Structure 1
């Protein structure tokens, strides 16, 4: 899984493009390499394709959470097997802002608090609305205060 052929685009939804009402925060993962097997990893092998409800989205720090310039990996994984579908290195600053906005929208919006989009050469291969977004320290500890954990989900 090549991380260098991927880009993460984060829209916090603070303002729509025309400056109107705030929109839904969105994580868009762009895969630019035609040989990227993201489509194959979304297939369970029996012809069944994973959907958004089969996937978990998380961010894990690679550096200490106390450092000024934190980096980490955004990952999308198969909820059943834990297999990574896609991973993208990124700074923690846009992730922090994304979680802040999604948390605020979750208090007043519909059941979903953000959207996730996986694109292969600008063609969407998966688009879904999500509520949970888990953030982990570099040592694997769940950072609840940094995560989006809906009240009806027990961890």
Structure 2
């Protein structure tokens, strides 16, 4: 298991990568990504490589930072906390893209997809970190077989 210092450094690096992916200018101003239009685009465009790449990219964006955060603070590995953290992260990205003249599309759907991917991975990491219970004598046997 990596040290806490290594995990913290990796978390900072992953957050820097998320910032670079989402907050570097791609033009000027911003545009609104209508949720209805985006959902229709995803639903009807899954045969398109660009659509699948966009979908998977949004689902994966916060995966590494959240996985590292759960490793550092296991108490974050509960769904209410994960959902709050992930939605706050996705929403913060979209608000920054709106507030800064980056030429990005501001999309509530992206924030929800970011959160969904982060929650899924956060729960997997939390579950994998739980200690496994030691089998008790007789567990899994019928009461009669356990007495023999």
Greater C-alpha Rg: 2
TM-score normalised by the chain length of structure 1: 0.28
- Whose strand fraction is larger, Structure 1's or Structure 2's? 1
Name which structure has the greater RCO, CA cutoff 8 Å, separation 6+. Answer: 2
